[in-house]
Each structure stands twice: as structure tokens, then as C-alpha cells.
Structure 1
Amino acid sequence: MANILDSVDQRTQLVGQNRLELLIFQLNTSQFFAINVFKVKEVIKRPHLNILPGSHPSVCGVANIRGTSIPVIDLRSSIGMRSMEKNDECNIIITEYNRTIQAFLVGQVMNIVNMTWKDIQAPPEQVGPNNYLTAITKIERDGMQRLVSILDVEKVLAEIIDYNIQISDEVLDKTIVNQLHGRKILIVDDSSTARGQIRDTLSQLGIEVIEANDGMKALTLLKGWCDEGKTVTDEILMMFTDAEMPEMDGYKLTHEVRNDPRMNDLFIALNTSLSGSFNEAMVEKVGCNRFISKFQPDVLVDVVQERLREVLGHAPNYSS
């Protein structure tokens, strides 16, 4: 399964259709789990792992893959289950999140399924706020409908890596920073961890944050303001949206906003753990103003300040 990914050109075709591909796997239990294929670089059998003394308990070692040292995270352990056993049949899924490469130790890797985001649902509220899911879905397997848990990898990584939300003094524009106080920004992300990171960063500047956990909820909110006769750009300074979300992804959300003349001038920044030329191509295709790879507090603040300068009339307009 090493060549699990298609070409960028083929993958971009999914975006306009509000579709995604999921890599389905197990953690040596009967449960099915998934992550988006866009995050996956490679799937291989578990290699020899070198132990890292003093590392996080969920980091089971480092793999040397073609000369590159890649930390390997025991996914079972990191979501509160029993750790993988040495004699378990295991694979590693090598991924790229937030500009870093890491691998996850899993059990059997099943297959890739192509789905629509409308088939992806938020987890039931009864599971509580501390779960490790961003969404759930169902697939047909052995003549049965099987539940698939889509993991919140950003939450997993945030509990292992200490993400700093401190804003550097040199980033702050003293001529306008005070005018950010009381401004409102819409954050759209299915990961509560990701929303919290952005909220905690921007709140240091006195910015009020409005949150939506999927693209459909965000679009409903925006259209509701328009239907009430409100001007969207008076309600919010800008919108940060993730790419991957249940029901409607960030690309489709941006497309819908750009095709509604009542709000097509809204400044939209795609803020995602996906990275590379694929997202740059998508930003241009759907009409986002900026692309930001998570999680970079200084870059986040810089984009907000640039947008405010544009609103105040003394900055060049960002366009794709």
C-alpha cells in the first residue's frame, strides 16, 4: 500500500464535488477507524523502532525510513486504549500534519473509500467533549453497515506536542493592534482543539470569536445574516475555515460564499493541517484569499492585521 495516494490532479477533482477519500484501518479491535487520505504519505509494515528515552508515553519509537527519522505514535495508546503489543500485526501510517511528518502505529489497514462529505456526521453529543473523534460515518463491509470513527488527529498531536500560542512582539503592528479589540472573526473547524488554538491566540488581541464546527453551519449563519438584511463584512472582519469538515468542506463553503453576491467579498483564509501544492492549487481554484498551514500563531495574527489594514484602506488587497 506504499503508493496509496493518487496524483494531485486526480485528487483535486474530489474537491469540487464536496467529496473525500478515507483510509480505513483497525487498531487490532473490531472497531473501524479512519483518517483522510489527503494527510497520508505512505503505509508500510511496522519497521524496526528505536526507542526514545524520556519521550511521551504514546511515542513508541523512531523509524528510519529511507534515511529520514520519523517519530511513531501508538494510536491506540494516544486515544486512551491499551497499547499495541509487540506481537500484534501492525502497520504504520506516515502522515503530514501542520508541516511535520509523523507516523501512527495501527493494526490492519483495510482499504480506501470515496465518500461525500454529506455522508460524514458529527459525533453524537452523548460521547462528551473529550472524545477523539471529529466525525463518524458508515461503510458497507461483509454485507453489513459498519460504523467508522474518523479520528481527530489534531487533538492527538496537541496532547503530545506542546503548541505555543504566544504571539511574538515583533509581529504586532502597534499602529493598528488596538483597533482589533472588539472585532469579530468566524472560525469554522470540526476539531475543537483547532478552534481552541485559534480562539486562545486571537483572544489575546481582544478579538471576539464566533465558532462553527462544520461548513454547513457556517454557511447557514452567513446566509441568515444576509436574509436579515445585514452586511456580512459588518458582522465579521473575516473567516478562517478548515478544509476537511462534515457535511460541507472548506472548499465548498468558500465556493458557496463566492457565488452569493450578498457576501462574495468576505475575506476567507483557509487554515488547515493539510499543506503543499495541493492546497495552494485549491485556494486559487475556489477563491480563498489566503492559505495558512496550522498551527502558526504569528502567521495567524499577521493575516488578521493585514485584513484590518485592508479594511482601514491602507494596504494592498490580497487576492489569489
Structure 2
Amino acid sequence: MASILDSVDQRTKLVGENRLELLTFRLRGSQLFAINVFKVQEVQQMPKLNMLPQSNPVVVGVTSVRGLTIPVIDLSSAIGRTPIEQNEAANIIVTEYNRSVQAFLVGGVDRIVNLNWDEIMPPPAASGRSHFLTAITRIEGKIVEIIDVEKVLSQVVSFNTEISEEVKDEDLLAHARGMEVLLVDDSNIAIEQARSTLQQLGLNVLVETDGLKALTLLRKWRDEGIDVNKKLLMVITDAEMPEMDGYRLTTEIRSDPALKDLHVVLHTSLSGAFNNAMAEKVGCNGFLSKFQPDTLAKTIQDRIRERIG
């Protein structure tokens, strides 16, 4: 498993093919859960933890991984279930999100599976844990629940959405009021965060929750005779989404003569050395880590300058 997790080439082969790899695991009991392998650095058997005074209740301690001290979050407790027993059967999954490294305490780690994004479905509205799920899938007839890690982390870390005053170019933004941006993301918490930042810039934010819905909307405008390149300032898309991921969405946009000049920025919690290579492979105009309001604002303003200049 470690060799697969460490292989950049293995991961980048999936880019633009609407495929993903999931690491499946259990918390307590037989239910399978999963997160995207892109986010995983390594898996370890339960290490010795040091307590962290006055920490969030779901943070069970800290440990050292490759010389870095990182918090360990009980994932079962974080999604409202019974805490994980800290014994030899437990494991930690070391992950990197938004340039931050943390570990999730889980039960048994199952395996890595390779799937098409069109096999990934939104969670049913009646699911008791849908608050913390971003999607579900089936593997060998068994339902696998895919955790919305961004939602989990929002409980532990306060994400700031406010743009620093020194970043805003008020004269520039005065010319940009009402410009439209298409935001594509399947995580409610990520949509809320990005929308808050974009609205501070005076932009109208249109939202779709997966790449296929976004592509369908773009093609609908195209077929209605709308010049989509003039209508939209830019498309800001997540990477991981049910039905169609952000890489495939960008690939489809670039292959359509009427859409190919759209400014597309990948906005994702994925971190690591392979990000820029993945974005460039499918023709994205840029890459941004999520929950960085000043960086997002600077990118938007640079694009506005291009538009009005």
C-alpha cells in the first residue's frame, strides 16, 4: 500500500480520465468508509500519542511523522459516532489538506480501489450521517460512505473567509461589480467559504455541485447562442466531485470550440508536488488551495485586470 500512496506517476495517470482511487477503511463495525488516495500520505499502525491540553475534543493527541508533529483526529468521534478504541487494531491515516498535515484515527484499513467518478453518487438525503458525507459508492455490492473531510476539519480549524483590506483593489473592483463566476464544488462547507470570499469582491456567484452539471449548464448557454466567454469571468472548480471531476470538466471545456477559451482555475484541498502538473495536464489556467481568501482574491483581481484591460 505504501508504494501506491507514494507514487505520483500512479496518481497523475488518472487525471483527465474521470477516475479516482479511494482508500477504504472501517471505524467501528463493518461499515466501509473512504477518502481519496490523492489526499493520503501514508498509513500507520496506531502510534503512541502525546496529549494536547485544551484541544478540540475530537483531537486525541499528537504524533511525530517524518519529523513533523501533527494532530490526530478521531474520525469516528468527529462524525458523531462512538470513539475509536486506541489499540493494536487501530490505524492512523496521514493526510494533507489545504497545505496542512493531520492524521485521522480509524479502525481497520481495508484497501485501495480504482473507480470511475460516474460510479460516485451524492449521499441520500435521509442518511443520518449525510452531514459528514460528500458521496457514496458501491464496491462488490457493499455501500461505501465517502467522508467530507473539509466538513470534518471545519469543526477543528476555523477557516477564515475575510479578505485582508490591503489585498482589495477598490478601484478595480468598482469596474467588476456584477461580473459572474461559476463555482463548481460538491462540498457545502467549501461552497459557503468560497461564495463568502467572492461576494466580498462584488461578484455574482453561480453554483453547480458537480462537473457534469456544470458542463451541462455551459453547453446549454452555448446552444442558446450565449457567448459564454463574455458571460463568465471565470470557472472555479473543485477537483473531486461525483459524476465528473474538475480535471475531466476542464478537459471537456478545452475540447469545445465555443468554450475552450474559458478561464478555468482548479480550487481544491489537494496538496502536494504533483498539483501543478495535474492542472497543466488538463489545461487549467491556475491552481489554488482552498480556504486561502487572500490568494483567491488576488487571482480573481488578476483575472479582472485581464478582462477590463
Q: Normalising by structure 1, what TM-score?
A: 0.93
Residues in 2 aligned to 1:159 and 1:199: alpha-carbon distance in whole angstroms: 19
Which whole-Å CA distance do the structure 2 matches of 1:292 and 1:89 have between them? 37
Matches within 5 A, 1:1-320: 1-87=1-87, 89-127=89-127, 131-140=131-140, 145-313=141-309
The answer to whether the Cα contact below 8 Å between 2:124 and 2:130 also exists between their aligned partners in 1 is no
Aligned-residue offset at 1:307: 0.7
1:215-264 deviation line (CA, Å, top 9, x unaligned)? 00000000000010001123221110011111111000000001101111
**Deviation (angstroms), 1:66:** 3.5
Q: 8 Å contact 1:44–1:92 — kept in the other structure?
A: yes
Q: CA RMSD in A?
A: 1.5
Are 2:79 and 2:129, in contact at CA under 8 Å, matched by a contact in 1? no
Within 2, Cα distance between the matches of 1:201 and 1:254? 23
Q: Where do 4+ consecutive residues of structure 1 move more than 6 Å?
A: none
Mapped partners of 2:280, 2:272: distance in 1: 13
Secondary structure (helix, strand or coil) at the match of 1:243 reads coil
TM-aligned CA distance change 1:98 to 1:34, over 3 Å:
same
CA contact (8 A) 2:161 2:293 kept: yes
TM-superposed CA distance for 1:3, in Å, is 3.6
- Equivalent AA in structure 1 for residue 57 of structure 2: P
Deviation at 1:6, TM superposition (A): 4.7
In structure 1, distance between residues paired with 2:46 and 2:3: 16
The residue identity in structure 2 corresponding to 1:270 is L
For 1:52 and 1:147, how far apart are their aligned partners in 2? 35
Gaps of at least 5 residues in structure 1 are: 314-320
Distance 2:265 2:257 in 1: 19
SS of equivalent residue, structure 1 residue 182: coil
Measure the CA separation in 2 of the matches of 1:153 and 1:169.
30
Q: Give how far 1:284 is off.
A: 1.2
* Structure 2: 5+ residue stretches without partners: none
Task: Quote how far apart the aligned CAs of 1:83 are.
Answer: 1.3
- How far residue 65 of structure 1 moved from its aligned partner, in angstroms, is 2.2
The answer to whether the 8 Å contact 1:4/1:43 transfers is no
Q: How far is 1:277 from its partner? A: 2.5
Q: Give the secondary-structure state (helix, strand or coil) at the position aligned to 1:292.
A: strand
Q: Which has the higher contact order (CA 8 A, sep 6+)?
A: 2
User: 1:74-118, CA deviations, whole angstroms, 9 ceiling, x for partnerless residues?
Assistant: 000100111123347210000000001000000000000010111
Letter of the structure 1 residue corresponding to residue 44 of structure 2: I
Query: 1:3, 1:42 within 8 Å by CA — same for their partners in 2?
Result: no
Cα distance in 1, alignment partners of residues 67 and 218 from structure 2: 48
Retained in 2: the 8 A contact 1:95–1:103?
yes
- Aligned-partner residue type, residue 41 of structure 2: K
Kept in 1: contact 2:173–2:202 (CA 8 A): no
